[in-house]
Amino acid sequence: MTRYVAKYLLALGLCCCVAVSSAHAQAHIHGVGSVMLVQQGNTWQVEVMVPLADALGFEHAPETPEQKAHAQALRETLATYRAVLEFAHTCQQVSQSLTLFEPTHEHDEHETAHKHGHDHQHEHKHQDVTARFVLECERPVEGVTLTIFDTMDSLSSVQVQWISAQGQGAKQVSQNNRNVVF
What dihedral angle (degrees, nearest 10) is formed by the CA atoms of 111, 63, 81, 4?
20
Q: Residue 132 contacts by C-beta under 8 Å, 6 or more apart in sequence?
A: 45, 46, 47, 48, 95, 96, 97, 98
Between 102 and 166, name the one with better pLDDT.
166
Span of 47-56, 75-84, 108-117 with lowest mean pLDDT: 108-117
* Model confidence pLDDT, tens digit, residues 125-147: 678 999 999 999 999 999 999 99
Q: 0.85 exceeded by the pTM? A: no
- More confident of the two residues 59 and 74: 74
Q: Is the pLDDT of residue 180 over 60?
A: yes
